[in-house]
Structure 1
Amino acid sequence: MNKGFSTIDWIVLAFYLIAVVIIGGSFYGKQKSGKDYLLAGRRMSWFPIAISIIATDLSAISYMGIPALVYKHDLKYMLSAFLFPFQMALVIIIFVPLLYRLNIYTAYEYLERRFNTSTRLLAACLFIGGRGAWLATMTFATSVVLTEITGINTYVAILICGISTTLYTFLGGMEAVVWTDFMQFFVLLGGALAIALFILFAYGWDVTRVWDVATATGHTTMFDFSLDPSREYTFWGMLIGLLVYQLSTYGTDQINVQRYFATKNLKQTIWAAAGSAMILLPVLLLLYGIGIGFTAFYHDHADMRASLSSADRVMPHFTVNVLPTGLRGLVIAGIFAATMSSMSSGINSLATSTLKDLLEKMSRKIVDRELFWARLISAFWGLAATAGATLMVDLKLTILERFNSIYQFFAGPLVGIFLLGMLTTRASAWPVSAGAIVGFVATAASARWTSIHWLWYAPIGCLVTLVVGYLGSLFAPQQRSEEIKQYTLLGSRELSVKTSQ
C-alpha cells in the first residue's frame, strides 16, 4: 500500500489550480455591462451550460458522499439517479419557459411581477440565507478532507480553495464560471474513473466478483417500501422528498436558474436542462459503482478496514493508502474541482441576487455602475464564504453534518411560493408570504422535535406553504386575473401561442 502525498501528486494538483485561475482570468475585461458579467451576455450554447449545471450539482460533498453512502449503507439512494431525468422534465414543463420568456436576471424577479416586491425580497432572502450557509459549510467540509489526505493545515486548505475560486469568479464573471466548470467536470470525472478502473484492475476486471462481495455483505439493497418517515432513504421518501427538493433546486434556485438565463434562446435552455439530466445519470451511476467497489475492496482487505476511522472518509482513505503516485493527485484535483465548481456558481448566483433583488431595489444609482458592483459583491461573497469556513474549524463535525441539512428548510417554502404563483391566479401576495414563513417554521420544528428523516423536510415546508398560502388567499383581496394571468403556466402558454401566430 502507498501512503503519503508525493511531489508528483503536488505537481498534478498545482497544475490544475494554475490552469483554473488562468482559464477564469482570461475572461477579465471582456465584460462591458452587468449582463455580460452576470449572464455571460445571454450568448451561451446549451452544452457548456449543461455541463456547468452538473459540475455545480456535484459538490465535493456529493462526489465523496455518494460512494460513502453505499459503503456505509446500500444502494437505496441510487433511486435518486433514475428519478432525476423525470424530475428535470417537470422543471422544463413548469418553470423554464415561463421564467425564460420574462427576460429577467433572477428567479425572484418573477415573484415581484406575479405578487409584489415584498414577496420577491422574502424569496431572495430565503435563497441568500440557505445558499450562503451552504457555501461556507461545503468549503469547510472539503478542506477537512484535503487536510487528512495531504497533511496541509485546514486553514491553508480553506484559503487555497476559497481565494483561488474567488479570484477567477471575480475576474471573469458568469462566462468564466461556466467554462471553468466545464474543465472541472472532466477533472472530477477523471478522478472518479481512476478509482473505478483501479478497483476493477485489482479484481482482474471481474465485475461479477465485486458485485457478489457487495451483495453478500448486504450493500446492494435498492428498495425499502416502509411507510415509516423516520427510516432512511425509503422509496416513498425518495419519490416525494426528492421531487420537491429537485423542483426547488432546479426550478427556483438562482444557482441553476441563472444558467438558464445565460443561454441564447429558450430552445438552448431546454436542451441545457434536458442534457444535464441525461449526462448526470451515468456520472451518478459511476459514483454508486465506486461505492460498491469500496465495499468489496475493504471487505477483502481487513487491514484497510481496520485503519478506516469513518465510512464517510472512505474515498480519501482509499486515495491516500491505495492509489499510486499521480493518480492520488488526479483524485485530489477532482475533489478540488467538485468544490470549486460549486463554490464559483454559488458566489456568482449570490452576487446576482444580492445586487438585483436587494441593492438595486434600495438605490437606483447602483444601476449606473452595475458592472463595478457586480464584481465587488462577488468578491464579498467569496471572501465571506472563505471566512465562514475558517470560523467552522473548531466546531464539531457532527454539528456541521446536521447543519448541512438546513438548506432543506429553505427549499420547501421556496418552491411552494413559485407553485402558488404559477399554477393559480387566486394566490395573493401577503398570504403566500405568510405561508412561506409558516412553512419554514414547520420544517424547522419537524427537524427539531420529531425523528422524521431529512428527505421529508422539503415536502413539509412546501405543503404548509401551499395550504396556508392558498387558504389565506381566499380571504384576501384578489389581484386582477387578466393582469397576472401571463405569469401563470397556462397564461404564459396562451400568450406564447398568440405571439407566434
Structure 2
Amino acid sequence: MASSSHQEIGTFGVWDYLVFAGMLFISAAIGVYYAFRRGGQQTPKDFMMGGRKMTAMPVALSLTASFISAIAVLGTPSEVYRFGAILSIWAFSYVLVVIITAEVFLPVFYKLEITSTHEYLELRFNKHIRLCGTILFIFQTILYTGIVIYAPALALNQVTGFDLWGAIIVTGVVCTFYCTMGGFKAVIWTDVFQVGIMVAGLLSVIIQGAEIQGGISNILNDSYHGGRLNFWDFNPNPLQRYSFWTILIGGTFTSASIYGINQSQVQRYIACKSRFQAKMSLYINLVGQWTILACTVFCGLAIYSRYHDCDPWTSKKISAPDQLMPYLVLDILRDYPGLPGLFVACVYGGTLSTVSSSINALALVTIEDLIKPHFQSLSEKTLSWLLKGTSVLYGVLCIGMAALASLVGFLLQAAVSIFGVIGGPLLGLFSLGILAPFVNSTGAFVGLTAGFVISLWIGIGAQLYPPLPERTLPLSLITDGCNITGYQGNFTPTTEASFSTSNFQVPSAERTHLMDYWYSLSFMHFSTVGTLVTVLVGIIVSLLTGGRKQSLDDRFLLTKDDFLSNFDFLKRGKLILNPQPYPMEDGGTDNPTFSYTEMYSTDESRKISQPC
C-alpha cells in the first residue's frame, strides 16, 4: 500500500483552472439559452415555475443537486473521517423523508394550487402566520446560503491557493446571472448539469483513491481496524453526536423540514405537469441521494485509509477538517492535469446549484408573500421585472452574508443546525395545519413561537458551550507515521486543531448541568426538538382556545382521498393519478398551480384558493 505520510501534495495548474472555468461558462450559457429560447421567460409563471411543464427526471436531479451542495461534498467525508461511516444511516432517513413528503405534504400543496408554500399558512390560519413563516424562511435561507458560498471557498483557498473572495464573488455573480436571465428552467437544467459534474468529481477521487491504496478491500480493511465501519451504534442517548437513532430520527426531521415544506424544494415538484410526475421526481431523487451519500461516505473512508498513520489535521498540514477532501485531491490526483479542477468544479457545482435554488425561491417568496398581497393590480411585465430585480438583490445579499459565515464551525454541523433551529418549528407548523383539524391560528402562532425560542436556545447554547469529546465521541487520529520535518506542502495552517465547533465560544472553568446535558444535545436533534415543541404547544393551546369548534375546508387537510387517489388507475383502467376538472393545456399539462388564476379569476366560489 502506498505511503502517505510525507509526500508533497500537488498544486492547481492551468488545466485545472480551464476545467473549472468551463463549468462556470456552461452554467452561465444555460441561463442565456433559457433567457432567449422561444422568446424567453415572458410571464411570471415561466420565470417562477417553468410554465408548469416540468417532468420527473430533471426535477429529480435538481432536487438532488440543490439538497446536496458543497457542504455534503466537503463536510460528509470529513465527518466520516472523524466519526466513522455511521453517517450512511442517512440512507434510511432519506426513505422516510421521501415517503412523508410525497404522501403527506405534496398532495395538499398540489390540490390547493399554491405557488408559495407560505400561501398555505394564510389559507389554513391567517396572514400574520403566513408573514411569520415567510420571514423565518428568508432569514434561514440567506444564512444557510452564506455558509454554502463561504465555506467551500475557504477550504479550497487554504489548500489550493484559490483566491478566497474572488471565488466567493464569482460564485455569487454566476448564480445571480443565470437565475436572473433564465429563471426557473435555467436553475433546473444547470442543476442537472451540475449533479453530473458532482458525481464525476467524486468518482475521480474514489477511483484514484482505490488505485493508490491498493484496492477497495484495503480501504475497507484500514477503515475497519481504525474503527470507522461503525454502522450499528444503537445507543439511544440523544446527547451522543451520531448514533443509529440520532441520525434516523434527527435526520428525518431535519430533511423533512427541507423536502416537505422548504420553498426551494417544494417549488420544484409543484412545477411538474402532473401530480404523478411530481411524486415520481421525489422517488427518483431518492436514488440520486443514495448515490451521492455512498460516494461521500466512501471518500471519507478513502481519506482515512490514506492518512490513517499521519493525520493532516493534528499534524497541522491543514487547519480544519473540512479541508481534508481538497487536500486528498491534490495529493492523489496531482499527476493528472485537469482532475483537481474537475473536483473543484464538483464542489462549486454543489454550491451553484444550492445558491441558485435559494435565490430563485427567495425571489418567488418575496413577490408572492410580501408584494402581491399588497399590490394586486401589478401587470405581468412589472412582476417579471420585479422578479429579476429581487433575484439580483438576493444574489448580492447572499454574497454579503458569506462574510458572516466565517463565524461558524464545521460545515455539516453548521448547515444541519440552521435547518434544525428554524426549519424544525416551521415543519411543526405545517404539520399542525395539515394533520390536526382542531388546531387554530392562536395555537399555531404560540406553538411556532415556543418551538423557535426553544430550538434557538439550544442552538446558541451549543455554539457557546460545545459538547465535550465524551458526547461527540471522535475516533482516534494518529500522527505516528508523519515525517513533519520533511514536509514540503504548500499549506500554512492558521488555527489550532480543536474539536470545538465555533469561533466565538465562551470559555468556562466549570461546566454546569445545563451545558453538559441541554446544550450537549446532538445537533441532529435540533429539528426534532423544534418540531415536537411546536406541535405539542400548538395542540394544547388550540384545545384551550376552542379549536375544536372551527370548521375547515377538507382541502386544507390530508384526507384519505389523497392517499386513495394513488390507486385511481386501478379503478379507471389507466394511469390517471391526478384527475382535474380543468381543461388540459400545453400538451397535456394538468398542473393546477396557475390555472385557477387564468381560468377562474372571476369565479367568486374559488376565492378561497387565492391569497388574501
Q: Which range, TM-score by smaller chain?
A: over 0.9
Does 315-324 or 297-306 show the bigger shift? 297-306
In structure 1, C-alpha distance between the alignment counterparts of 2:29 and 2:259, rounded to whole Å: 29
Q: Kindly tell me: are residues 176 and 6 of structure 1, through their superposed partners in 2, closer, same or farther at Cα, counting changes over 3 Å?
A: same
The superposition leaves residues 174-232 of structure 1 with CA deviations (integer Å, 9 ceiling, x where unpaired) of 0000000000000111100000000111134x222211111111111112222322211
> 1:143: which partner in 2?
153
In structure 2, C-alpha distance between the alignment counterparts of 1:437 and 1:302, rounded to whole Å: 44
> 1:221: which partner in 2?
230
Does 304-313 or 160-169 show the bigger shift? 304-313
> 2:347: which partner in 1?
335
Query: Which of the numbers 294, 299, 313 marks the counterpart of 2:323?
Result: 313
**1:398 equivalent in alignment to 2:409:** yes
In structure 2, C-alpha distance between the alignment counterparts of 1:55 and 1:105, rounded to whole Å: 21
Q: Kindly tell me: are residues 21 and 292 of structure 1, through their superposed partners in 2, closer, same or farther at Cα, counting changes over 3 Å?
A: same
Structure label with greater radius of gyration: 2
In structure 1, C-alpha distance between the alignment counterparts of 2:288 and 2:117, rounded to whole Å: 24
2:138/2:362 contact within 8 Å kept: yes
Amino acid at match of 2:543: L
1:360/1:367 contact within 8 Å kept: no
1:485/1:491 contact within 8 Å kept: no
In structure 2, C-alpha distance between the alignment counterparts of 1:491 and 1:259, rounded to whole Å: 25
In structure 2, C-alpha distance between the alignment counterparts of 1:446 and 1:308, rounded to whole Å: 30
> 1:274: which partner in 2?
283
**1:459 equivalent in alignment to 2:468:** no
Aligned pairs for 1:36-47 (under 5 A) are 36-47=46-57
Query: Which of the numbers 428, 435, 443 marks the counterpart of 2:455?
Result: 443
Shift of 1:270: 0.4
Q: Kindly tell me: are residues 194 and 443 of structure 1, through their superposed partners in 2, closer, same or farther at Cα, counting changes over 3 Å?
A: same
How many equivalent pairs are there?
498
In structure 2, C-alpha distance between the alignment counterparts of 1:500 and 1:24, rounded to whole Å: 33
Amino acid at match of 2:445: S
Shift of 1:309: 3.7
> 1:292: which partner in 2?
301
Please give the secondary structure, in 2, of the residue aligned with 1:398: coil
Query: Which of the numbers 258, 271, 275 marks the counterpart of 2:267?
Result: 258
Aligned pairs for 1:364-383 (under 5 A) are 364-366=376-378, 368=380, 369-383=382-396
Please give the secondary structure, in 1, of the residue aligned with 2:34: coil
> 1:408: which partner in 2?
420
2:49/2:271 contact within 8 Å kept: yes
Please give the secondary structure, in 2, of the residue aligned with 1:362: coil
Give the structure-2-normalised TM-score: 0.77
Question: CA RMSD of the aligned region, Å?
Answer: 2.3
In structure 1, C-alpha distance between the alignment counterparts of 2:365 and 2:65, rounded to whole Å: 21
In structure 2, C-alpha distance between the alignment counterparts of 1:491 and 1:366, rounded to whole Å: 39
> 2:437: which partner in 1?
425
In structure 2, the gaps of 5 or more residues are 1-7, 462-513, 569-577, 582-612
In structure 2, C-alpha distance between the alignment counterparts of 1:14 and 1:479, rounded to whole Å: 60
Does 452-461 or 235-244 show the bigger shift? 235-244
Query: Which of the numbers 524, 542, 567 marks the counterpart of 1:473?
Result: 542
Amino acid at match of 2:553: I
2:213/2:305 contact within 8 Å kept: no
The superposition leaves residues 146-170 of structure 1 with CA deviations (integer Å, 9 ceiling, x where unpaired) of 3124323311111111111111111
> 1:63: which partner in 2?
73
Shift of 1:353: 0.9
In structure 1, C-alpha distance between the alignment counterparts of 2:85 and 2:410, rounded to whole Å: 26
> 1:13: which partner in 2?
20
In structure 2, C-alpha distance between the alignment counterparts of 1:409 and 1:110, rounded to whole Å: 21
The superposition leaves residues 397-451 of structure 1 with CA deviations (integer Å, 9 ceiling, x where unpaired) of 5398875423311111111111111112101012201110110001122232521
**1:490 equivalent in alignment to 2:547:** no
Amino acid at match of 1:272: S
**1:349 equivalent in alignment to 2:361:** yes
Q: Kindly tell me: are residues 236 and 18 of structure 1, through their superposed partners in 2, closer, same or farther at Cα, counting changes over 3 Å?
A: same
Identity of paired residues, percent? 28
Does 66-75 or 35-44 show the bigger shift? 66-75
> 2:33: which partner in 1?
26
1:298/1:305 contact within 8 Å kept: no
The superposition leaves residues 230-255 of structure 1 with CA deviations (integer Å, 9 ceiling, x where unpaired) of 21112221222122112211110001
2:322/2:411 contact within 8 Å kept: no
In structure 2, C-alpha distance between the alignment counterparts of 1:156 and 1:483, rounded to whole Å: 53
Runs in 1 of length 4+ with deviation above 3 angstroms? 300-306, 365-368, 395-404, 477-483, 494-501
In structure 1, C-alpha distance between the alignment counterparts of 2:252 and 2:366, rounded to whole Å: 27
Please give the secondary structure, in 2, of the residue aligned with 1:4: coil
2:75/2:411 contact within 8 Å kept: no
Q: Kindly tell me: are residues 492 and 414 of structure 1, through their superposed partners in 2, closer, same or farther at Cα, counting changes over 3 Å?
A: farther
Does 11-20 or 331-340 show the bigger shift? 11-20
1:486/1:495 contact within 8 Å kept: no
2:73/2:296 contact within 8 Å kept: yes
> 1:157: which partner in 2?
167
In structure 1, the gaps of 5 or more residues are none
Amino acid at match of 1:3: G
**1:4 equivalent in alignment to 2:14:** no
Give the structure-1-normalised TM-score: 0.94
1:366/1:373 contact within 8 Å kept: no
Please give the secondary structure, in 2, of the residue aligned with 1:224: coil
In structure 2, C-alpha distance between the alignment counterparts of 1:495 and 1:108, rounded to whole Å: 26
